[in-house]
Every structure is written in structure tokens, then in C-alpha cells.
Structure 1
């Protein structure tokens, strides 16, 4: 990836509804071997060190449908700098090149960010009620944690997908 060739970025959380960079094409895609999980304790974007929020990470196992963006090769340096500044703030994610299957056919390599299970911000599997309690009170540089979770669920539904665990978290948020 790089040079003058177009490249792909795979988003599974806020990049689905708010990529923040220019792209040539946007398509839903599936990544095998990882699933979307509200498993990262956010100290910056959706919480603080004193009151961390929860954001998504790609965690081992299963598969994840997200959004793939084809970016012009001429924008490689600027887009990668933007993504690294956004995703690697506390280094809870590791940048990876992965193979994704585009909806409608075809596979491409894409840049994405996978959770580092050894990082102190990795929260692991959290009960839906506990996750909702954390999300309700957290607010970070990018806004309220509730907004992040509800936007994510809206976009997941727009892709025609269900996420029963996240839907349970959202139901607790409405109470």
C-alpha cells in the first residue's frame, strides 16, 4: 500500500459514520477473524482517565461487517497521518493490513486498527448492563459516549445487520 496506487481503509466503529477523510469509493465489507467489540476503555475521545468511556475495538474471533473506503494513492500520506493521529492516540490499537471481502464480490487489502489485548485500556468482554452504566456517564474530546454508541448502532442497522449485545446496551441506555 502506498505510492501512487489507491488503497483501502476498513472502518468498524466511528469510521463507519465519520471517516474524516476524502475517499473515492465507499462499500460495505466483511473482515474474517475479528469481531466488533465495545472493549476499549476510552481515555481521550469518549471519556477521560478519571471516567473512561467505551469504544469499539476489533477483537479476535468471528467476523465483522464494516465500511471499506477506497482512497486515492495521492492522498496516502495525508490520510495515514490523519488515521494514526486519530486511532493511535494511546496505542491501544495496532495498525494492520488485512484482507477484506467487499459486498458484491472481490477481496482487497485494507488498513485497519485491531485492539491490543495486552494494553491497559483493553476491557475485554463486558456485561451489557455494565457497559451501559459506563457509557451513560462518559464524555471525552469527541463528545458523549452515548452518542458514539447510538450512532454506531444506527449505522450497523443501516447496513442491514443486527448486533443483539449492542442492542441490549442501547436498551439499557434508554432507561
Structure 2
């Protein structure tokens, strides 16, 4: 699958018939909401974990030297916390462009963190069959890759450090993210 997924997302999942859609963010969408939204709430999804296994050719790296950003991997029994945004379907013109580097939209069940209840929502996921997928590596190797990567949206290290801070602000512990952050901070020291 091509790493530019804009047309594919729009073909497989037209949203024009809906008044609003909930979007779940587990990476930069937690701390960087550069789009209009109707409301925002902490939420989580079950059966998934964040991993720095996706290449970024367009934001935190370049086509010649992609950075590393997050995707989700299936993990039965696990919980992934993040931020949910209620948006209008028109917002996906921007979001599909922002998340075009190998990410497809999927509906999943969102569970609210601060109140009872759940709802269906969309999440962007980059699976192993997209051209930008980098796959697993050691925490030290991922941190070393992040330390030297940069793209139009800034240094790859900024993405990791802002995400770690946002997770702490939410009161969440993510061992994968924090282990790579520790390795990165050691490299930068």
C-alpha cells in the first residue's frame, strides 16, 4: 500500500452523511490539535498499544531520511489512553492530509476516561503493509533514530518529548514511550 492514503481513506470511508464524528488521538493528536473541534475529552481504546514503528516521510523526517512516529499494534488485554475530539466530517480534509503517510481510518469503540460511557470513533492506524512502515527495534535504536531525524514539522525528538509530557499530563504511563524517552535523553545529555 502506498504511504499516501488520502484518496484511499476518502473512498473507503465517506463521512458526509454524518453530523459529527469522534476522533481518537494517541500520538501528536493528543497535544497538537491544529483543527477545529466541537469538544475534546480524555478517552481510551482497548486491545491496542502505541509503538514507534511507523516512518514519517512528511512531518518528522524526509523521504530520504524518515523519522519514527507512532502507530498502534494489536495487544489483547491492553489499554491505550489518549484524547478524543468531536469534529465535523469536513475536518477530515485536513486530518486525512495530516495523517496521509500510511495511515488508514478505522472505527473503534472509545471509552471515556472521566465519565462512564463509550461511543464509536475513528482512529488512524498504520499497519505493517504500508510503504512507510519501519517495524520494531530496540528502545536504544529507536531513540538513536529519533535523535537524528527532522522534517518540515520539526525535530523528531520534539514529537517524542511532547508526547511524553502530554501523557504525564493525562496521568498515563506508557512504558514503550517512556523507555525511548529515557534513551533519547541519555543521548542528548
Question: TM-score higher than 0.5 here?
Answer: yes
Alignment match, 1:98: 108
Q: How does 1:112-131 map to 2 (within 5 A)?
A: 112-131=123-142
CA shift, 1:2, in A, is 4.5
| In structure 2, distance between residues paired with 1:56 and 1:121 | 12
For residue 63 of structure 1, the aligned residue among 59, 64, 79 is 79
| In structure 2, distance between residues paired with 1:2 and 1:50 | 36
| In structure 1, distance between residues paired with 2:131 and 2:177 | 23
CA shift, 1:4, in A, is 5.6
Counting matched residue pairs gives: 169
TM-score under structure 2 length normalisation:
0.84
| In structure 2, distance between residues paired with 1:138 and 1:67 | 26
Stretches of structure 2 that go unaligned for 5 or more consecutive residues are: 1-14
Q: How does 1:15-34 map to 2 (within 5 A)?
A: 15-34=29-48
| In structure 2, distance between residues paired with 1:143 and 1:29 | 27
For residue 26 of structure 2, the aligned residue among 12, 27, 39 is 12
After TM superposition, where is structure 1 displaced by more than 3 Å over at least 4 residues in a row? 1-4
Alignment match, 1:163: 174
| In structure 1, distance between residues paired with 2:66 and 2:92 | 26
C-alpha spacing 1:4/1:97, structure 2 compared with 1 (3 Å): closer
CA shift, 1:63, in A, is 2.6
Alignment match, 1:153: 164
Task: Kindly provide the CA deviation profile for residues 10-35 of structure 1, in whole angstroms up to 9, marking residues without a partner as x.
Answer: 10111110121111221111111221
CA shift, 1:112, in A, is 1.2
